[in-house]
Amino acid sequence: MADVLLSLIMPDDVAQHVEDLLLSRPDLVPGFTVSTAEGHGSVIPLVEDAELVAGHAPRTVIRTVGPEADKREVLALIKQKLPNANVFFWLVPVIDKGRL
């Protein structure tokens, strides 16, 4: 099965829970990258005063690459363990990967 890139976008207060869940399953997620982002748009609720002033909400992005079946299992695991986590995701095919 071909590799895919799984990108997860979530509120910052959810990120540690998702990271812990991923770290508990090295068979599905041998590694991942975490970065910060800013959520913009009508689907991003701005709650805090600072968010309302800035016009965006802080988000955390987690990316991991691997077999599609493993990444779909990760999505099912997040849905089961963190059902109200408000995690947006997408999967895209990986054309190539490696280390240089």
Query: What does the pLDDT profile of the chain (100 residues) look like in tens digits?
Result: 799 999 999 989 999 999 999 999 999 999 999 998 877 655 666 566 566 555 667 789 999 999 999 999 999 999 999 998 889 999 999 999 998 9
pTM for the model: 0.84
Bridge-partner residues for 5, per DSSP?
A: 65, 92
Distance of CA 81 to the CA centre of its chain: 14
Give 3-93's CATH code, choosing from 3.30.470.10, 1.10.3720.10, 3.40.1710.10, 3.30.70.120: 3.30.70.120
DSSP summary character for residue 26: T
